[in-house]
Amino acid sequence: MNIFVDSNLSDDERRRELYRGSIFVHSPSPSALKLCRLAQELIEQAFSPLNPNTVHERLAPGKSAEILAVLKPKFIHHPKSKEYIQGMLTELGCDLEKTYFDVPRMRTAFPGDYLKSGIAYAFQPHRDTWYSAPFCQINWWMPIYQLNSENCMALHPGYFARPIKNGSHLYNYHKWNLESRHNAAQHVKSDTRTQPHPEEPIEREPEVRMI
């Protein structure tokens, strides 16, 4: 696995590296900062007057789920979100005539066992293709608040070209969009929705965490 930091590769060269399993890390661009600030503003408005980073100490999990059920779609469909993503693509040299993007998804995670299901589902190790993501999809991740090694995403490079037995054959994306996506906030203590999981033991080392 190669890791490129603030690379000046062309769009085509970058794409080739990504499909070989490389990771690209970029310093925040002006539009990325605007998207991050928009997310922070919406989060802080939604949980006001509480500190969003410590709501698990003050609110019942069900109440947080109710707030997130309104907050997440508001961010996803905010007109500025799309504008700032287009700006990010421009600032990093993407070919705007050939680049398609999805709306941004806001992921939430809490410490311990607080709200690990439903709208704040704690994902098991997975490939996004198990969830019907197209093979041409390239994921961009960015933090909204400060990261450390305990609260960020882990990547497992040993599995890049290694098959994993999984339950994706049980996952119906059409049904998910019709039913399961919309009732996420109802799953507070447990999550009964059908989602793909590894069906064999996963070796979590080595792993890469980008801070």
| b/e per residue 172-182 (b: at least 16 CB within 10 A) | eeeebeeebee
Residue 5 has what pLDDT? Answer: 96
| pTM metric for this prediction | 0.86
Give dist(CA 91, CA 86) in Å, integer.
9
Q: Which amino acid is at 102?
A: D
Q: Which residues of the chain, if any, have pLDDT below 50?
A: none
Domain parsing of the chain, residue ranges: 3-209
By DSSP bridging, strand 23-25 and strand 3-5 are parallel
By DSSP bridging, strand 208-209 and strand 154-155 are antiparallel
Give dist(CA 132, CA 195) in Å, integer.
11
Residue 136 has what pLDDT? Answer: 87
> What secondary structure letter does DSSP report for 20?
T
How big is the chain, counted in residues? 211
Residue 185 has what pLDDT? Answer: 53
> What secondary structure letter does DSSP report for 141?
-
Any bridge partners for residue 25, and if so which?
5
Residue 183 has what pLDDT? Answer: 56
Residue 181 has what pLDDT? Answer: 61
Return the sign of the alpha-carbon dihedral for residues 166, 209, 82, 97.
negative
